[in-house]
């Protein structure tokens, strides 16, 4: 063994997980969201776990790339990272909603999202084999706890369809109910900062919600993220109103020049998960100082080494770095926590949807304490797969072919048959 036992099997299990009716700029979450569970087995009998997007485009690419993974050593992360990198960057969808508000979707982003789960699974396996936590494979942790923000959403009380999962969070459609949701978050996990997903209601209403949060939680850093749903003029108006109230605005608008001017005029830091989502997008955005904080997502940047690389690029440009999250389970939360623990200048609490997920595929789901997750030293990711849960959620995936693609627009049409997502600024 030089860099880990050889990978002998890659098991890909698509699942559907219950999701709440969370609203965003382009629609609403469906009752169920697809995820892909990856198990990498080595010739020493060790199994490592990974997780990524589960829409069909990811499933087919994963099936293809899994063949190339067989026979590779589990510790060959650099080699795993370049699997299939001769692929084109064909545009698959140019509506940001597709694939879950992550910028335009390209074949290469799909590849990287698949490889992220392969790399994480390989790291989990390699760490288990060596008796080392994943952070030790990334140069070691520099902190013992990773802070997460409480991720607030406007939401309906329930899905507008039959047989949908229920949740205990209630509706949140105005400032008061957003504050109520924040209080529940705080009681649940002691979150010390809050992010509100915006772009749903008129900007003034969302500003009012942020101001209500600021009044209720005066010591909590706050963020508002309309997913690029505002025009440059609206973004400027919001920035002027919320300057001093939010620690940053996330993707207030989408034009690089507009973002740069917004920052220049207001001084408000701008974070992004939509305009810098791939290596090629870094240089133009940084050259204009269009963003000040990049929210990495190890899924679509291509894994944990890629996340560290992004942090290095941000450091070289004096940019802040933190982490984005889309609907995900405990495998990915473990991976996010392990890599975040190794990045010294991760100065903002990471985002995570995790508290919204009532289901998980690990035997001991995470709990937040003081808004943070403890960085485990248990070998690998420090988690175990709940195979019964995987089987059950996979069975649901088999049973519900109509929900195998995440489609926030379709979900919205269940309530509003004439609903059409808006191209360009919504407000």
The contact set with its own copies (CB under 8 A) reads 1-4, 73, 75-79, 81-82, 130-133, 135-142, 279, 282-283, 286-287, 305, 308-310, 312-313, 315-318, 342-344, 377
Tokens of residue 237, six digits? 């108006």
CA dist 232 and 188 (Å) reads 36
Q: Which DSSP helix (H) or strand (E) runs through 39? A: strand 32-42
- Per the CB < 8 A criterion, the answer to whether 251 and 274 are in contact is yes
Nearer to its own copies, 241 or 317 (CB): 317
Q: How far is the CB of 189 from its own copies (least distance, A)?
A: 25
Q: Residue 37 forms beta bridges with which residues?
A: 13, 51
Task: Please state the closest distance from residue 281 (CB atom) to its own copies, in A.
Answer: 9
| 328 in active site | no
Identify which of residues 79 and 415 has a Cβ nearer to its own copies in the complex.
79
- CA 361: distance to chain centroid? 17
Q: Which of 324, 328, 353, 426 is catalytic?
A: 324
> Active site includes 109?
no
CB of 341 to its own copies, least distance (A): 9
CB of 400 to its own copies, least distance (A): 38
Other residues' Cβ atoms within 10 Å of the Cβ of residue 18: 18
Task: Give whichever of 137 and 331 is closer to its own copies, judged by the CB atom.
Answer: 137
Q: How far is the CB of 319 from its own copies (least distance, A)?
A: 10
* CA atoms of 142 and 138, how far apart (whole Å): 11
Q: How far apart are CA 401 and CA 404, in angstroms?
A: 5
Q: Please, which residue, 292 or 342, has the CB nearer to its own copies?
A: 342
Under DSSP, the state recorded for 104 is S
Handedness of CA 146, 151, 157, 158 (dihedral sign): negative
Q: What distance in Å separates the CA atoms of residue 196 and residue 124, rounded to the nearest whole number?
A: 32
Nearer to its own copies by C-beta: 63 or 312?
A: 312
What does DSSP assign to residue 86? T
Q: Select which of 109, 135, 155, 197 is catalytic.
A: 197
Shortest Å distance, C-beta 79 to its own copies: 5
Which neighbouring-strand residues pair with 373? 146
Q: Which of 321, 310, 300 is nearest to 103 (CA)?
A: 300
- CB-wise, 21 or 103, nearer to its own copies? 103
3 state DSSP class of 411:
helix
Residues with catalytic roles: 197, 324
């Amino acid at each position: 063994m030089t860099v880990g036992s050889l990978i002998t099997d890659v098991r890909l299990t698509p699942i559907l997980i219950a999701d709440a009716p969370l609203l965003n700029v382009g629609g609403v979450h469906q009752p169920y969201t697809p995820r892909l569970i990856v198990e990498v087995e080595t010739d020493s009998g060790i199994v490592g776990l990974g997780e990524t997007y589960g829409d069909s485009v990811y499933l087919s690419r994963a099936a293809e790339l899994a063949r190339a993974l067989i026979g590779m050593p589990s510790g060959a992360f650099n080699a795993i990272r370049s699997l299939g990198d001769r692929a084109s960057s064909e545009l698959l969808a140019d509506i940001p909603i597709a694939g879950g508000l992550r910028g335009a979707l390209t074949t290469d982003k799909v590849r990287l999202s698949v490889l992220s789960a392969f790399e994480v699974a390989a790291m989990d396996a390699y760490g288990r084999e060596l008796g080392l936590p994943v952070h030790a494979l990334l140069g070691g942790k520099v902190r013992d706890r990773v802070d997460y923000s409480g991720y607030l959403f406007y939401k309906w009380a329930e899905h507008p369809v039959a047989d949908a999962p229920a949740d205990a969070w209630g509706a949140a459609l105005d400032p008061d109910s957003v504050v109520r949701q924040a209080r529940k978050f705080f009681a649940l996990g002691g979150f010390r900062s809050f992010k509100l997903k915006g772009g749903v209601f008129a900007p003034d209403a969302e500003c009012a919600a942020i101001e209500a949060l600021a009044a209720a939680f005066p010591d909590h850093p706050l963020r508002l993220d309309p997913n690029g749903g505002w025009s440059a003029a609206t973004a400027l108006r919001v920035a002027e109103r919320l300057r001093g109230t939010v620690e940053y605005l996330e993707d207030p608008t989408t034009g690089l020049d507009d973002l740069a001017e917004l920052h220049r005029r207001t001084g408000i830091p701008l974070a992004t998960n939509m305009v810098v989502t791939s290596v090629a997008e870094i240089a133009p955005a940084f050259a204009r100082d269009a963003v000040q904080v990049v929210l990495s997502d190890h899924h679509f940047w291509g894994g944990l080494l890629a996340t560290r690389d992004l942090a290095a690029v941000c450091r070289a440009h004096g940019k802040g770095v933190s982490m984005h999250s889309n609907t995900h389970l405990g495998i990915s939360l473990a991976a996010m926590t392990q890599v975040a623990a190794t990045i010294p200048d991760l100065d903002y609490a990471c985002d995570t949807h995790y508290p919204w997920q009532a289901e998980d595929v690990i035997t001991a789901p995470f709990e937040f304490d003081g808004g943070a997750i403890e960085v485990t030293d248990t070998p690998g990711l420090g988690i175990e797969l709940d195979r019964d849960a995987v089987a059950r959620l996979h069975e649901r995936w088999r049973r519900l072919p109509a929900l195998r693609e995440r489609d926030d627009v379709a979900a919205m049409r269940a309530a509003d048959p004439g609903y059409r997502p808006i191209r360009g600024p919504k407000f």
